Amino acid sequence: MTSTTPATTSGSSPATTSGGTSQGRTTIAASVVQKISGIAAREVSGVHSMGSGASRAFGALRERIPGGGSTGASNVAGVNVEVGEKQAAVDLDIVVEYGVSIAELATAVRRNVIGAVERMTGLEVIEVNISVNDIHLASEDDDAADGSAPAAAPTGRVVE
């Protein structure tokens, strides 16, 4: 990064400035870079969801609480950014679909995130770090959707 102190998404104040001219300055909040990165990562086929299991569960709970699903920076599960005056670094936590080449997926996600952030903000993305936290199995959705999973009785026995 540059010699300036990087800003993270912990605050809601503007985090970065770029494009200063004699006609004025453009300020881009770190939360904007965070949202762009999250959307760009989810656009790649093979990314099932973002965030660790705990952050996904907390996000699902927060969405059910009135007013909990606001548009703040903390809403973008699995995305952390550091933003300076001219550069940004992105950390992603993702869950991939079973059967997808993780190496190829990471390359595609990295390319999409860098392209989107640089195109939309003018910031140079110096790194995109990707952590694969889980693999999603299609059978998990099938079992939950059709109710075919056996229910556990209060005694701990499986009821058929």
pLDDT digit string (tens) for 41-69? 999 999 999 987 665 555 555 556 676 55
pLDDT value at 81 more than 60 = yes
Q: What is the mean pLDDT of residues 16-30?
A: 77
Residue 141, Cβ density class (10 Å: 0-12 exposed, 13-18 middle, ≥19 buried): exposed
Classify 116 in phi/psi space as left (phi over 0), alpha (psi -120 to 50) or beta: alpha
What's the pLDDT at 4?
41
What's the pLDDT tens digit per position in 94-149? Answer: 999 999 999 999 999 999 999 999 999 999 999 999 999 999 998 876 655 555 54
- pLDDT: which is higher, 94 or 155: 94
For the chain, domains (ranges, CATH) are: 7-18+26-146 (3.30.70.1350)
Look at 3 and 135; give whichever has higher pLDDT. Answer: 135
Higher pLDDT, 135 or 155: 135
Decide which of 122 and 76 is more confident.
122
Containing 36, the helix (H) or strand (E) segment is: helix 30-42
Residue 154 has pLDDT above 70, yes or no: no
CB 117 within 8 A of CB 125: yes
DSSP strands (E only) in the chain: 7-8, 16-21, 24-28, 47-50, 79-83, 87-97, 124-136, 151-152, 158-159
- pLDDT at residue 62, rounded to an integer: 56
pLDDT for the residue 93: 97
Check residue 147 and give its pLDDT: 56
Torsion of Cα atoms, 54 then 15 then 39 then 104, to 10°? -80
**Phi and psi of 102, rounded to 5°?**
-65, -40
